[in-house]
Structure 1
Amino acid sequence: MIAAVQVALPLALVCWVAFLPSGSLVGFAVQVLGSGAILLALALVAQWAVPFWWLPYLHGALWLGAVIRQGAGLRQGALPLMPEDAGGWVALGAALVLAAVGGWYGARALAGRVLPPVAVVDIANPFGQGRYLVGHGGSNPLVNGHMRTLDPTIARFRPWRGQSHAVDFFGLGPWGLRARGWRPADPAAYAIFGAALHAPCDGTVIAAEGGMPDFEVPQQDPVNRLGNHVILRCADAEIVLAHMRQGSLRVAPGDAVRVGAALGQVGNSGASTEPHLHIHAQRPAAEGAPPISGEPLALRIDGRYLVRNDRIHGRD
């Protein structure tokens, strides 16, 4: 599915413009609009962690080259303003559909870059050295799957509601790949596995778990969802870092930490289908309630509200 949607479809759209341009001026204009809208929507909505993160930029450059090449050719020929046969009108209709679909999804993805109407917690970058890509992040479910847990009608989401504005990070290795291979079973083959984590705020450790196993991909533990984790109380908010590496934790409940203090490493424990860091902010959960059922809060990391496919560098 990823190969079809994120590789084959963009290349098909580029070839459509490059080798099958519309035979009318309006048809070509709508063809350019429709193909461009789909490419933009794919760049914003799809997770670009499995193929190269820079692939949408390549698709965009190829599309722009095709448009310029065909546009230059239009000046040399006298094309009719509107299609003159049934095939031309069908192509125009298809391009209009693509423009509408791509425009809707692109607009929704761009809307997800706006901070949600909740309190915002500012924290420091929790990563050590390395490069990292946002998998889930943003203010609507199209770009942040965590936001589905805001639905109060689904009972099974209530114990996890605090993570509704979470951000998930993948690592980026050589050539911008997140792993050595398409989806290797060994968690150590993923760029983020073993990445150092540091306290993103001054606070107190109120919960820490480090003994759960790191699973092979794509196994997971849907019961102990956080896996190995640290929960920090920073002022009136809690910061939760989950799916950490077994045996890597450097803190214990009750410890006071300062920004930059070593917490542990990224792993693949809990409800994690492949190594990544899950981080979220919430109000403290009610007495006796599940630990991540508190009121969800938005996060800014080093002053940035991070959304899907944003990239950050770890600290030296």
Structure 2
Amino acid sequence: MTAMLIGFQVLLPLASLAWLFFMPAGSLVGFVLQAAGTGAMLFALARVAQWALPVWWLPWVYGALWLGVVLFRALGERGDPRPVIPEGAWGWTGLAVAVLLCAVGGWHGARALMGCSLPPVAVVDIANPFGPGRYLVGNGGSNTVVNAHLKTLDASVERFRPWRGQSYALDFFGLGPFGLRADGWRPADPSAYAIFGAALRAPCSGTVVAAEESMPDFEVPEQDPVNRLGNHVILRCSEAEIVFAHMRNGSLSVVSGDIVAEGDRLGEVGNSGASTEPHLHIHAQRPAAEGAPPISGEPLALRIDGRFLVRGDRLTGTGE
């Protein structure tokens, strides 16, 4: 996993920028397509990949480098005009690679942008559930390109049915100094992660219908695939339920049956349940049928402070 991440989010962008800088196409059409292809690929990576690792602002660095290289090459060779079309096998090969990058990057970038639109389901508006801090969306949006949770909409897969309610869920990482999510690359200690222990508050007034705080917080990357929610709170607000999962052991301020007002403390983010590192999972659903698994209700979309958040978006918590 680490090797794949480094390959796609570090080596591939740097290699494409090096190709554009050190081996610019010799023709006008070739260079335009080379610049467009590398730009499309960098944009797609920025929108599709999770940037909790290495860091959320790295795509902006790549974008600035891309713009600088394009301007340098375009303005620096004005006195030596290129032919319009490629010459020779090498020039046409470069053109083919550029066209491929345009197609692949353009397709995935467009799909990621489509995931920013609201899905065709009812939308639940809630307030910001976080206390102080800064947070990054790891999963969120209306298609599988930007939200891995959406695969559980596939009713033909039996093992997904008990989790169907979480299909439009959001996953949040914390952002610490310099935008880093943790003190280290992937430390085992959950307390080394910026989001661990972050305060959670009721984003709406309602009734607590489930609360669990006895499950352990695991070291990274251990998890509990059976008790997937881990420590959790399910808050019923009007006709919808808001589910908070992977909370911290012993941190809950509520029990089942409590009536809470918007802004009341619920607990803290932890690393319990099916969580490979500390993060908050939050989703909205209709209440599950009587006797059915607790997160098998009809999935609903969430808007937080009026925003439909997608992968890569950032959210600032509320102050004390």
Task: Output the TM-score relative to the length of structure 2.
Answer: 0.98
Partner of 1:122: 125
Deviation by residue 1:148-181 (Cα, 9 ceiling, x = unmatched): 0000110000000000000000000011000011
Where do residues 58-73 of structure 1 align in structure 2 (5 Å cutoff)?
Answer: 58-73=61-76
Q: CA deviation at 1:231?
A: 0.3
User: Is structure 2 residue 9 aligned with structure 1 residue 6?
Assistant: yes
Partner of 1:109: 112
Q: CA deviation at 1:130?
A: 0.3
Partner of 2:79: 76
Alpha-carbon distance between aligned partners in 2 of 1:285 and 1:106, rounded to the nearest angstrom: 35
Alpha-carbon distance between aligned partners in 2 of 1:178 and 1:279, rounded to the nearest angstrom: 18
Partner of 1:192: 195
Alpha-carbon distance between aligned partners in 2 of 1:229 and 1:58, rounded to the nearest angstrom: 37
User: Is structure 2 residue 20 aligned with structure 1 residue 17?
Assistant: yes
Alpha-carbon distance between aligned partners in 1 of 2:302 and 2:77, rounded to the nearest angstrom: 49
User: Is structure 2 residue 34 aligned with structure 1 residue 28?
Assistant: no
Alpha-carbon distance between aligned partners in 2 of 1:111 and 1:47, rounded to the nearest angstrom: 17
Partner of 2:174: 171
Alpha-carbon distance between aligned partners in 2 of 1:37 and 1:275, rounded to the nearest angstrom: 32
Alpha-carbon distance between aligned partners in 2 of 1:139 and 1:73, rounded to the nearest angstrom: 43
Alpha-carbon distance between aligned partners in 2 of 1:81 and 1:232, rounded to the nearest angstrom: 63
Partner of 2:261: 258
Alpha-carbon distance between aligned partners in 1 of 2:68 and 2:88, rounded to the nearest angstrom: 28
Where do residues 259-298 of structure 1 align in structure 2 (5 Å cutoff)?
Answer: 259-298=262-301
One-letter amino acid of the counterpart of residue 151, structure 1: D
For residue 292 of structure 1, give the secondary structure of its aligned residue in structure 2: coil
Alpha-carbon distance between aligned partners in 1 of 2:87 and 2:306, rounded to the nearest angstrom: 54
Alpha-carbon distance between aligned partners in 2 of 1:278 and 1:144, rounded to the nearest angstrom: 12
Aligned length: 316
Partner of 2:99: 96
For residue 267 of structure 2, give the secondary structure of its aligned residue in structure 1: strand
Q: CA deviation at 1:37?
A: 0.3
For residue 57 of structure 1, give the secondary structure of its aligned residue in structure 2: helix
User: Is structure 2 residue 49 aligned with structure 1 residue 53?
Assistant: no
Alpha-carbon distance between aligned partners in 2 of 1:82 and 1:129, rounded to the nearest angstrom: 56
Superposition RMSD on alpha carbons, in Å? 0.5
Task: Output the TM-score relative to the length of structure 1.
Answer: 0.99
User: Is structure 2 residue 296 aligned with structure 1 residue 307?
Assistant: no
One-letter amino acid of the counterpart of residue 19, structure 1: F
Q: CA deviation at 1:73?
A: 2.4
Q: CA deviation at 1:78?
A: 2.2
Alpha-carbon distance between aligned partners in 2 of 1:3 and 1:141, rounded to the nearest angstrom: 22
Partner of 1:243: 246
Partner of 1:44: 47
Partner of 1:150: 153
For residue 86 of structure 1, give the secondary structure of its aligned residue in structure 2: helix
One-letter amino acid of the counterpart of residue 169, structure 2: A
Alpha-carbon distance between aligned partners in 2 of 1:40 and 1:79, rounded to the nearest angstrom: 27
For residue 129 of structure 2, give the secondary structure of its aligned residue in structure 1: coil
- Which ranges in structure 1 are unaligned for 5 or more consecutive residues? none
Q: CA deviation at 1:79?
A: 1.1
One-letter amino acid of the counterpart of residue 182, structure 2: A
One-letter amino acid of the counterpart of residue 121, structure 1: V
